[in-house]
């Protein structure tokens, strides 16, 4: 069942949604790409994607997951859709097998939910209120960045060469 607000529902993307997702990003003039072990979530309005986000383990597949490509269509900004997507991902990170009631079984054919233990994201400083209000913390100290997988350290370094106001944020499930 999708995660919902009174007006919108978050859906976890299937492989068949990939071309629609990439079309959404292209229409928003946003260069998004899948980077490894990706999960994607979106919200639709009038049967079209209006907000989308990706969470990727990258190539190293450690305890850190990179949240990226969080984009809301311009006409829908300021309606809490980015926060709704973030809350959905956080809710998935807390799902534990112990929450299954005794006597219930888990369908082995049902896709399992990803377990995001630590979610990082690189975003402009102007987006700090969004992330801090959604239980992320600033994760910019040299010793913080040193704890990231090498792949994500390098990615952050490359991005900061082009965007000096880029900050790292962490959500710890």
Does residue 105 belong to any structural domain of this protein? no
Does residue 146 belong to any structural domain of this protein? yes
Task: Specify the pTM.
Answer: 0.84
Does residue 86 belong to any structural domain of this protein? yes
CA–CA distances in Å: residue 92 to residues 118, 127, 167: 12, 23, 24
CA dihedral 148, 154, 156, 157 (to 10 degrees): 130
Does residue 156 belong to any structural domain of this protein? yes
Q: Look at residue 5 in the predicted model and tell me its pLDDT.
A: 65
> Which of residues 166 and 60 earns the better pLDDT score?
166
Sole residue written with tokens 């400083």:
125
Residue 128's domain spans which residues? 3-97+113-172
148: domain CATH number?
3.40.630.30
Sole residue written with tokens 């801090």:
132
pLDDT band at 139 (very low <50, low <70, confident <90, very high): very high
Does residue 102 belong to any structural domain of this protein? no
pLDDT at 99 over 70: no
pLDDT at 110 over 80: no
Give the pair of three-digit tokens for residue 52. Answer: 């989308």
Does residue 103 belong to any structural domain of this protein? no
CA dihedral 125, 158, 150, 116 (to 10 degrees): 40
Name 45's bridge partners: 48
> Which of residues 82 and 173 earns the better pLDDT score?
82
Does residue 118 belong to any structural domain of this protein? yes
Q: Look at residue 4 in the predicted model and tell me its pLDDT.
A: 60
pLDDT at 34 over 90: no
In the chain, % helix, strand, coil (3-state, to 5) comes to 35, 30, 40
When divided into structural domains, the chain yields a total of 1
Tell me the three state secondary structure of residue 87. helix
Does residue 141 belong to any structural domain of this protein? yes
């Amino acid at each position: 069942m999708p995660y919902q607000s009174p007006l919108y529902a978050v859906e976890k993307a299937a492989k068949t949604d990939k071309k629609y997702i990439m079309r959404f990003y292209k229409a928003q003039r946003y260069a998004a790409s899948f980077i490894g072990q990706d999960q994607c979530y979106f919200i639709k309005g009038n049967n079209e994607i209006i907000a989308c986000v990706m969470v990727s383990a990258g190539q190293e597949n450690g305890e850190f997951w990179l949240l990226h490509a969080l984009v809301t269509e311009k006409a829908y900004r300021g309606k809490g859709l980015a926060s709704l997507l973030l809350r959905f991902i956080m809710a998935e990170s807390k799902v534990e097998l112990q929450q299954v009631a005794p006597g219930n079984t888990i369908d082995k054919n049902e896709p399992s939910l990803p377990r995001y233990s630590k979610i990082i994201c690189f975003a402009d400083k102007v987006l700090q209120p969004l992330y801090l209000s959604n239980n992320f913390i600033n994760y910019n100290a040299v010793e913080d960045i040193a704890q990231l997988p090498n792949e994500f350290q390098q990615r952050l370094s490359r991005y900061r060469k082009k965007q000096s106001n880029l900050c790292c944020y962490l959500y710890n499930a």
